[in-house]
Amino acid sequence: MHVPDGFIDAPVSIAAGAVAVAGIGIALRGARRELDDRTAPLAGLTAAFVFAAQMLNFPVAAGTSGHLLGGTLAAILVGPYTGVLCVSVVLLMQALLFADGGLTALGVNITTMALVTVLAGYGLFRLLLRMLPKTRASVAAASFVAALVSVPAAAAAFTVIYAAGGTADVSIGKVATAMIGVHVLIGIGEALITAATVSSVLAVRPDLVYGARGLMKPLELRVAARKADGPAEPSRA
């Protein structure tokens, strides 16, 4: 998915870079609202988490494996603005340190994998939550659908960029079919992991799932009532 140099021509790469800069600018302002002065350490550790989670390969089909992209997952867990920042920083570091994804294609990569993924994934997630009953199952279902759609959405965004500035003479129809087809498959893996991860975090620290804030009651400490006089009842557990 990381686009290398030379795949998209120079003018469109620069235009995508401008879109990425604008998107990150908005995300910076929003992230300060989400996390105030905790932004740097928390977004940094979440970026490290996304980076590590991308190393986790899961089997897709017939011996091939895919890895998590993590845009929707990060957005649901820490909020859309912080999510965009985390994924963008991961992409920036991958391009600078690991030569994964070209430097001139950084704008394209951030636009498709950070901006479009989070926008499509998180937008759909909130929309679904508004319509579904407020239970843990519907949070899991909403994150499943959101992650499932977000990956082909990124592929579709790439196809649009390719149509504007692709350097190879492959028809748009073929690129769209191949890209979106493959990414629907990847999206299924992404969706399964995202939904299961969100619900496992929701079970332990519901307060940490940004996307489900206000939906879940905070966990409360329950203390067994003592009788007014006499020793405490022996526990039956």
Partner 1 sequence: MGAGHAHRLYLPGASPVHRLPPQCKLVAVLAFVLLVVATPRERIWAFGVYALLLAAVTVAARVPFRTVARRIVIEVPFVAFAFLMPFVAEGEKITVLGLRLSESGLWGAWNILAKGTLGVVASILLAATTEPRLLLLGIERLRMPSLITQIATFMLRYGDVVTAELGRMKVARASRGFEARDIRATGVLAKSVGALFLRSYERGERVHLAMVSRGYDGRMPVLYDVGATAMQWTLAAVLPLAAALVALAAWMSP
Do 52 and 45 meet the contact criterion of CB atoms below 8 Å apart? no
- How far apart are CB 74 and partner 1 at their closest, in Å? 9
- Residue 19 DSSP class: H
Q: Could you say which residues in the range 145-164 bind partner 1, by CB under 8 A?
A: none
Do 122 and 22 meet the contact criterion of CB atoms below 8 Å apart? no
59 makes contact with partner 1 (CB under 8 A): yes
Tell me the helices (H) and strands (E) count for the chain, helix number first.
8, 2
Residue 47: name the closest of 92, 88, 76, 86 by CA. Answer: 86
62 makes contact with partner 1 (CB under 8 A): no
- Residue 61 DSSP class: E
Which region, judged by CB under 8 A, interacts with partner 1, from 3-11, 116-124, 128-136, 214-222?
Answer: 3-11
Q: Could you say which residues in the range 67-106 bind partner 1, by CB under 8 A?
A: 67-68, 73, 77-78, 85-86, 88-90, 92-100, 102-104
Secondary structure (DSSP) of 182-217? HHHHHHHHHHHHHHHHHHHHHHH-GGG-GGGTTTSP
Contact letters (x/-) for partner 1, 107-126, by CB under 8 A? Answer: --------------------
- Judged by CB, which is closer to partner 1: 84, or 149? 84
46 makes contact with partner 1 (CB under 8 A): yes
The residue from 1, 128, 132, 182 that contacts partner 1 (CB under 8 A) is: 1
Which region, judged by CB under 8 A, interacts with partner 1, from 41-49, 110-118, 131-139, 221-229?
Answer: 41-49
Q: Rounded to an integer, what distance in angstroms lies between the CA atom of residue 178 and that of residue 175?
A: 5
172 makes contact with partner 1 (CB under 8 A): no
Q: Rounded to an integer, what distance in angstroms lies between the CA atom of residue 182 and that of residue 91?
A: 21
Contact letters (x/-) for partner 1, 188-217, by CB under 8 A? Answer: -x--xx-xxxx-xx--xx--x---------
